[in-house]
Chain A
Amino acid sequence: MAMKEELIKNAYSEAITAHRSPDKPFLKKSSTGSSEVIFSFRGSWAVKDWYSDKSQRPFGEKKINLKLFPSLRSIGNEEAADVNQAFEERFQLILENPKLKDKVQKAAKDKKQVVFTGHSSGGPIAILATIWFLEEHRKGNIIFSTLPLCLTFGSPLVGSHIFSHALRRENWSGNFIHFVSKYDLIPRVFLASLSANKQKFEKILNFLSQRSKQVPLHLAQDAQDIFTEVMTNALTLTSHVACKLMESTNLLLETVTNFIELSPYRPFGTYVFLNVGGNPVTSDNFNAVLQLLFYSCQPSSDDEVLEIAKRSLGDHHGYESELPNSFRGHNYSSDKSYAYEIDMLNKAADAFGLSTSGRLCLLVAGESEEQKKRNQEKVKSKVTDMERALKEIEHYKNVCELEKVGLYDSFKLQKDQKDFKANVKRLELTGIWDEIIELLKGYKLPDEFEGQRQWIDLGTQYRRLVEPLDIANYYRHLKNEDTGPYMTKGRPRRYRYQQQWREHEKKMEKGSSGESCFWADVEELFCQGNEKDVAKKIQKQVLQWEKEGEIGNDVFLHNSTFVQWWNSLDSEIKLNDIQPLIHG
Chain B
Amino acid sequence: MTKLFSSGSELANVVVGSDLLQQSWKAILELANGNPDPSLRFGISQEGKNPTIITFFTSHDFAIDRLKQGPDLVSSSSSVAKDSFGLFVSLSGKTQFAINRAAISLFDQHRDKLLSELKDKINDSNRLIITGYSLGGSVALLFTLWLLESVTSRKPKPLCITFGSPLIGDTGLQKALVQYSWNSYFLNVVSDQDPVPKLFINPDLGTETAHLENGHKPFGTFLLCSGSGCSCFEDPETVLQLLVKTAPSANQDLNQRNGLYPYGNIVEYVKRKALCRDNSDAERAPSPFAAGIITELSAIGITSPQDQNEEIDGLVERMEKQEKKFLMAKNKSLISFKKLTDAKIFMTYLEWYKKASEDKKIGYYDCFKKKLSKTDMDVDEFCRRLTNYWVDMVEAAEKKPQKEGASFRMRCLFGGTNYRRMVEPLHIAKYYNQKGGRQAIDYRNKGRHRHFRILEEWLEQWQKEQKNEVGSTTPNDRKRKMVAPSLTIDSCFWAEVEEAILSCKLLNSTESSVEEKDSSKKDLKKFEAYVLGLLKAYSVSIEIFLEGSSFMLWWEDYKKAMGSSFTSPLTNIIENHHKRKRYATGDL
Contacts and interface: CB of A to CB of B under 8 A. Distances in A.
Interface of A: 228, 231-233, 235-236, 239-240, 242-243, 246-260, 298-302, 304-305, 355-361, 363-364, 367-368, 371, 374, 414, 417, 420, 423-424, 427-428, 430-431, 434-435, 438, 478, 481
Given A355-B279, A360-B291, A478-B482, A258 B274 contact: no
A43 B352 CA distance: 70
A286 B127 CA distance: 32
Nearest to A240: B14
B292 interface: yes
A250 B221 contact: yes
B327 A243 contact: no
Contacts of A435: 337
Interface residues of B, number: 64
18 contacts: A235-B274, A239-B17, A240-B10, A246-B7, A251-B183, A252-B185, A252-B232, A258-B159, A298-B276, A298-B277, A300-B276, A302-B276, A356-B280, A367-B1, A417-B352, A427-B348, A478-B478, A481-B478
Nearest to A261: B18
B206 to A, nearest CB: 26
Nearest to B278: A355
B275 interface: yes
Given A242-B10, A252-B187, 10 more contacts: A240-B14, A250-B7, A251-B184, A252-B232, A252-B234, A255-B157, A356-B280, A430-B341, A431-B341, A434-B341
Most chain A Cβ neighbours within 10 Å, of B14, B220, B345 = B14
B323 interface: yes
B272 interface: yes
A251 B181 contact: yes
A255 B276 contact: no
Contacts, number: 166
Nearest to B299: A357
Most chain A Cβ neighbours within 10 Å, of B9, B17, B292 = B17
Contacts of A256: 14-15, 18, 20, 159, 187
Interface string B1-27: 111011101110111011010000000
Given A428-B341, A431-B337, A435-B337, A248 B11 contact: yes
B275 A356 contact: no
Interface string B193-232: 0000000000000000000000000001100000000001
Given A247-B1, A247-B327, A427-B348, A253 B14 contact: yes
Contacts of A357: 9-10, 278, 295
B333 to A, nearest CB: 11
Given A232-B275, A424-B348, A258 B5 contact: no
Contact of A299 (B277, B279, B345): B277
A431 B129 CA distance: 42
Contacts of A356: 278, 280-282, 291, 294-295
A368 B478 CA distance: 52
B338 interface: yes
A240 to B, nearest CB: 5
B338 A259 contact: no
Contact of B272 (A302, A374, A424, A478): A302
A255 B184 contact: yes
A358 B294 CA distance: 14
Nearest to B339: A431
Contacts of A299: 275-277
A232 B294 CA distance: 23
B464 interface: no
B271 interface: yes
Nearest to A252: B221
Contacts of B272: 302
Contacts of B159: 255-256, 258-259
Nearest to A483: B414
Nearest to B342: A431
B443 interface: no
Nearest to A254: B184
Given A246-B10, A250-B221, A258 B276 contact: no
Contacts of B338: 431
A363 B6 CA distance: 12
B330 A236 contact: no
A74 B184 CA distance: 31
A246 B295 CA distance: 15
B261 interface: no
Contacts of B186: 252
B156 interface: yes
Contact of A258 (B127, B181, B294, B337): B127
A577 B476 CA distance: 41
Most chain B Cβ neighbours within 10 Å, of A371, A374, A430, A431 = A431
Interface in B224-278: 232, 234, 271-272, 274-278
Nearest to A417: B352
The 8 residue pairs across chains A and B that have the minimum distance between CB atoms: A251-B184, A431-B341, A236-B17, A239-B13, A246-B5, A249-B326, A248-B7, A355-B277
A235 B13 contact: yes
Contacts of B277: 298-301, 355, 358
A360 B337 contact: no
Contacts of A304: 276
A209 B171 CA distance: 62
B291 A427 contact: no
B349 interface: yes
B234 to A, nearest CB: 5
B517 to A, nearest CB: 46
A232 B17 contact: yes
B288 interface: yes
Nearest to A438: B337
Nearest to A260: B18
Contacts of B20: 256, 259-260
Contacts of A258: 127, 156-157, 159
Contact of A228 (B234, B275, B352): B275
Contacts of B183: 251
Given A236-B18, A258-B127, A431-B341, A248 B348 contact: no
Nearest to B186: A252
B337 A434 contact: yes
B344 interface: yes
A256 B183 CA distance: 13
B349 A424 contact: yes
B51 interface: yes
A430 B7 CA distance: 36
A249 B294 CA distance: 19
Nearest to A481: B478
Most chain B Cβ neighbours within 10 Å, of A240, A253, A259, A481 = A259
Contact of B11 (A243, A363, A420, A438): A243
B154 to A, nearest CB: 12
A232 B22 CA distance: 14
Interface in B114-161: 127, 129, 156-157, 159
Contacts of A302: 272, 276
Given A250-B221, A481-B478, A360 B341 contact: no
A359 B1 CA distance: 18
Given A228-B275, A260-B18, A355-B277, A424 B345 contact: yes
B323 A249 contact: yes
Contacts of B271: 232
Interface in B305-335: 323, 326-327, 330
B276 A301 contact: yes
A364 B338 CA distance: 28
B461 to A, nearest CB: 18
Contacts of B221: 250, 252
A427 B345 contact: yes
A367 B337 CA distance: 25
A86 B71 CA distance: 60
A427 B341 contact: yes
Contacts of A414: 355
Interface in B513-534: none
Nearest to B160: A255
B304 to A, nearest CB: 13
